[in-house]
A and B are shown apart, each in its own frame.
Chain A
């Protein structure tokens, strides 16, 4: 158990809909990262937050957005869903308060299926 939790585990929805994925980092970790893993693209970095602020952006579509709240949990919002958005979405956390960058601890993932 990495200490990172993600909800829901599975999500099935229809094209055009909007969903929210939630991530709670390990206790004390300040950074949250979001990744997408699809069959044809492999793992891709989407976005990183550090202590509530956006730190880095990767291949994140404009239809997707994220935020990190004061309690450090993070949400990834996916809107106007398309079939191609079906994927595993992972979040990871790192950087304990007062510490430096270290390894990332991954959550179990949310499997999104868009029908």
Chain B
């Protein structure tokens, strides 16, 4: 079983919809990351969080350490949000990063 599980694997939404991507992990962590990968391949770090909630524009990330769960929300989705969203964790006892399989989001106009 993967240490980082994401759901859903694929998500199609209409422009303007509210989107939620979920991430569950099974190891103790020092931080959780949400990454965005566009079709061209480049990876952008959206959030790094270890507790609570962070907001950047239309993106909101939350984490519940006790439940080992995080969510990424996109409000008022737009076609340019179409990308693969990857959840990753920095384990508490190791200096590496463990990745989920990603969620492929397609937002239709």
Contact = CB atoms under 8 A, between A and B. Distances in A.
Contacts of A7: none
Interface residues of B, number: 22
Nearest to A31: B95
A58 B96 contact: yes
Interface of B: 30-31, 33, 35, 41-45, 47-48, 86, 88, 90, 94-99, 101-102
A76 interface: no
Contacts of B97: 33, 35, 45, 104
Contacts of B96: 33, 45, 48, 56, 58
A45 B98 contact: yes
Per DSSP, chain B at the interface is strand
Contact of B44 (A2, A42, A45, A56): A2
Interface residues of A, number: 24
A27 B41 CA distance: 23
Given A42-B99, A42-B102, A43-B99, A101 B30 contact: yes
Contacts of B35: 106
B41 A108 contact: yes
10 pairs of A and B residues whose beta carbons are closest in the complex: A56-B95, A106-B43, A103-B48, A43-B99, A45-B96, A103-B45, A56-B96, A58-B96, A55-B95, A45-B97
